[in-house]
Amino acid sequence: MMETAAINNEILSLIKDWEPRLTSLQNETITNYRNSQNRTVKQILGHLIDSTSNNIHRIVHLQYQQSPLTFPNYATFGNNDRWIAIQNYQNEDWNNMIQLWKFSLIHFCHVINNADKSKLDSEWIAGADKKITLETMIVDFPEHLKLHLDEINELINNK
């Protein structure tokens, strides 16, 4: 059985640690340096906003739709880069992005706290021959978040 309190604490701790760091970054740092996927700090944070939003939608759908759920995987075939480009995160107001990231994650915590425990085995079809349970989606989310925060950290430290 998943323990949402630990997941919430981890996510809220990351917000507490990262919000002031993100706020203090210079424009040159957030717009000029690029990672191995050719993303800037702003674009990585935009991806995290998209990822949080998409996961919230999956979590909600998995609680009332038939399992396994067919729901678009925005990250396949480079579509997550399309999302970043279409929303033009590179030219978004940085402080607004930080707040959107923060409050999206806080809402994610609220959503998982209220997830129907009887639906944790509901599955999402993530790709050909790949299904992910609601529980796994929730439990694995902090690792995805940390992966991308580590990318931001690398860009900050290697400028």
The pLDDT assigned to 13 comes to 97
Q: Which two tokens stand for residue 10?
A: 């981890």
Domain residues for the domain of 71 are 4-157
pLDDT at 98 > cutoff 70: yes
pLDDT at 118 > cutoff 70: yes
The pLDDT assigned to 42 comes to 97
Mean pLDDT of 8-34: 95
H/E stretch holding 9 reads helix 4-24
Residues 64, 117 contacting (CB under 8 angstroms) = no
Domains of the chain: total: 1
Distances (CA, A) of 8 to 48, 63, 100, 145: 16, 19, 17, 12
- CA torsion through residues 149, 52, 73, 144, sign: positive
pLDDT at 113 > cutoff 80: yes
What does the pLDDT look like over 56-68, one tens digit per residue? 999 999 999 999 9
Q: For residues 73 and 133, which has the higher predicted lDDT (pLDDT)?
A: 133
The pLDDT assigned to 77 comes to 65
- Confidence label for 2 from pLDDT (cuts 50, 70 and 90): low
Residues 122, 62 contacting (CB under 8 angstroms) = yes
The pLDDT assigned to 72 comes to 82
3-state SS assignment for residue 27:
helix
H/E stretch holding 42 reads helix 41-61
Q: In this structure, what CATH number is given to the domain that contains residue 75? A: 1.20.120.450
Longest dimension (CA), the chain: 48
